[in-house]
Structures are given as C-alpha cells and as structure tokens.
A = this chain, B = another copy of it.
C-alpha cells in the first residue's frame, strides 16, 4: 500500500522532471464560490494532465534492468500520454494498447510522444488483455496500471504535497480539497499526502452525474458500480467502479463526494478560460464545477479545487465557449 514515505520518495525522483503546477485564483470565481477559491492547475502538467506524475513515479521506481525492457499500458486517454512521455524521457520503449476507434488525435499524440501504439478491434471482440499479456510475456514489458498501482498512487500524491505547501503559504489550513475522480488514483494519493502534511485539508471526490460510483461507494460503505460505461462528456473519469487499492484509502480519509452535471462542467470550463486563462477538459473541470455550483454543501472560508486535465477536442471546447455568447 502507498505510504507517505513512498509519496515523498516519488517527489524526490520527480524533481526537475514533474512540473510544480501553480495554485490559481480570481476574485470573480471567489464571488461565485462564496469563499476564497484556489485552483490547482494540473492541466499545466506535462502531457496536459496529472497522469504524467503517476507514470513518472511508476517507471522511475522500477529497477534499471526491469525498466530497460520497456512498459505497457491500456489507455486511450491521459494515462496513455503520461506513460508514453515518461517512458520516452527515461529512454525506454512503451507499448500503448488502444481501441482502434479511439479518437485519431489521441492515437497520433501518443505515438508522437514516442509510444508504439497497438490498436485492437473492440467491436470485433478482440481481447485487449490477451494482447497485452502476450506482448508482455514476449518482450518482458511491465504493465503500468492507471490507478491500482501503489507507485502510481504515490506519484499522484505528489500533487497533494504541493497543495499542502501552497495552501499553507496562503494561510489556508482548514478547507475542503475537491478532486476530479475516476478510479481514485489522484484522490487517494492526495488524501494520503494531506493526511500527513495538512490534516486540516479534507479531500472530497467529484464526479459527473450518472458516474458517481465513488460518491455512492463512500455513502454506502460498499463498492458501487456505474450503470453504464459511457454517456457523459467527462470521458477522462468514466471508470466503472472505484479501484481496489484506492477505495479503502478514500473510505478512511475522504469527505462526502460531490456530483455535477455535464452542463456545469462546461460552465466551469468557460469560467476557467475567461478568469484563469486555463484550458480544462470536462473531466478535469468537475471539481471546479463543484466548488462553484455546489458551494452550499461546502463549509469554511476557503476551498481548493484540483483542475486535473486539459486534453479536450476543439469541438467540445467550442461548446463551452459558446456559453459566454
């Protein structure tokens, strides 16, 4: 299991390679939120999302011999780009397995970052796990899971170390920390870091409507599952259920979850654009949306929202901008 010592070790390995992202704010957003609102701008991380932190942590934690054989990941999204770039910077090869109907831009970006992209036919029933197992066995590749991996969680936890330092520097020691939540890697990593470094900061997972498996799991005290795998524009955080490693951490350390609509995520994207000059994707904007539009369920005179990613298609972004009409 991930410990604060592992998170600090991940931070040590990340020095100069993982970007320390700023904590942004705007008086216009404070007004809407009804309190001081600080936005951890993790969309500014390398590859446009926090996923680079976990990928860097997991790859840098491997022994040189194991690492040299390369890594493999299943992802069509931010994890793919994080693993591809972290592998390239380590000078090792990466194989990313994606469905062949993934957006062309994501396939191209991942390949351009240096990965070998292997496409499989999702509709035709090809088994991606079998493909991955075969490649791993043949080439000795190490699988980097997106969240159920203790070193990945440690890497995401470095975000929490920075939040603890940055919030303390602003005099904020008691506040909710809202985190965009899919499988829970970022949320549980931040939770472990804050427990050790800023115990007055309470993490709370934020999810889109219809995909609130973590919120319901925390409320019920038992693992919940989403009824459908698709159906929200917040594609980066649509996981079927909480992770095996992450749920126990979130149950022990997190406050209640917050749920927002796709429309509210788009509105938060528009406000991040106009007030923070920050590009967010829908799944990376749900925590900001919760801070702005669920403020009646938040207490205290300050709140922190983690803006976890900004990899969004121009057409979706245009929908957010159109709201500013």
Interface size band for A: 20 to 34
Asked whether A146 is an interface residue with its Cβ less than 8 Å from the other chain, the reply is no
Per-residue B-contact encoding for A74-90, CB less than 8 Å = 1, 0 else: 00000000000100000
Whether the Cβ atoms of B22 and A44 lie closer than 8 Å is yes
Which of the listed residues A169, A276, A280 has the most CB atoms from chain B within 10 Å of its own CB? A276
Asked whether A180 is an interface residue with its Cβ less than 8 Å from the other chain, the reply is no
A26 to chain B minimum Cβ distance, whole angstroms, is 8
A223 to chain B minimum Cβ distance, whole angstroms, is 33
Contacts of A28 in B (CB 8 A): 112
Contacts of A231 in B (CB 8 A): none
Asked whether A324 is an interface residue with its Cβ less than 8 Å from the other chain, the reply is yes
Asked whether A282 is an interface residue with its Cβ less than 8 Å from the other chain, the reply is no
Q: Within A275-325, which residues are at the interface with B (CB < 8 Å)?
A: 276-280, 310, 314, 317-318, 321-322, 324-325
Contacts of A274 in B (CB 8 A): 314
Per-residue B-contact encoding for A1-18, CB less than 8 Å = 1, 0 else: 000000000000000100
Whether the Cβ atoms of A85 and B27 lie closer than 8 Å is yes
Which of the listed residues A16, A277, A324 has the most CB atoms from chain B within 10 Å of its own CB? A277
Asked whether A243 is an interface residue with its Cβ less than 8 Å from the other chain, the reply is no
Closest to A20 in B: B22
Asked whether A21 is an interface residue with its Cβ less than 8 Å from the other chain, the reply is yes
A87 to chain B minimum Cβ distance, whole angstroms, is 13
Asked whether A224 is an interface residue with its Cβ less than 8 Å from the other chain, the reply is no
Per-residue B-contact encoding for A56-87, CB less than 8 Å = 1, 0 else: 00000000000000000000000000000100
Contacts of A22 in B (CB 8 A): 19-22, 44
Whether the Cβ atoms of B113 and A27 lie closer than 8 Å is yes
Whether the Cβ atoms of A44 and B278 lie closer than 8 Å is yes
Asked whether A48 is an interface residue with its Cβ less than 8 Å from the other chain, the reply is yes
Inter-chain CA distance A314–B275, complex, in Å, is 12
**Residue from the list B24, B85, B112, B279 in contact with A273, Cβ < 8 A:** B279
Whether the Cβ atoms of A310 and B277 lie closer than 8 Å is yes
Contacts of A324 in B (CB 8 A): 314
Asked whether A43 is an interface residue with its Cβ less than 8 Å from the other chain, the reply is yes
Top 5 nearest A-B pairs (CB, nearest first) are A277-B310, A277-B279, A43-B277, A314-B324, A314-B321
- List 29 A-B residue pairs with CB atoms under 8 Å apart, sorted by A's residue number: A16-B169, A19-B24, A20-B22, A21-B22, A22-B22, A22-B44, A24-B44, A27-B112, A27-B113, A28-B112, A43-B277, A44-B277, A44-B278, A48-B277, A273-B279, A273-B317, A277-B278, A277-B280, A277-B310, A278-B278, A278-B279, A279-B279, A314-B321, A314-B322, A314-B324, A314-B325, A318-B318, A318-B321, A321-B321
